[in-house]
Amino acid sequence: MACFWEGILSSLSTVDKVKLGINNHIPNLIEALKKYNTHDITVLWQNKDISKKEKDENYTHINDYSVNSYNKGYLCSTCDPFLILVSHILHVDIHHEYLNNVIKYSSNSDKTYVFKSNSGHFTYKKKY
């Protein structure tokens, strides 16, 4: 049920974890992302800027997310606020392979994290 969070956590390097100030516990990860939540996102989604309205909605989504609900599952969207924020904070590109479609979050990085999902499962695939 916590596969989204486990996937993100397993993708993080030691340097990433230090930057976020976290250990290997999912609640720590969520709390850190909520702490670093911002309207000032510089990530491109599918090579397009994210609108102010979308940034505001993403900020609210992250701000309102309950840390204690992580074990109840998370419905990752095709333009997911948490993936956008991870890309922004860690300055990494993210490729999310969803049902044979690649969704790209770009922060103009030379580092890319690849995740894979279907309608019921999300996992970390590789880093390049």
Q: What is the CATH number of domain 3-127?
A: 3.90.70
33-74 pLDDT per residue, tens: 999 999 999 999 999 999 999 999 999 999 999 999 999 989
CA proximity to 33, closest of 61, 56, 72: 61
At 25, is the pLDDT very low, low, confident or very high (cuts 50, 70, 90)? very high
- Cα–Cα dist 34/103, whole Å: 23
- Give the global pTM: 0.95
- Cα–Cα dist 29/55, whole Å: 21
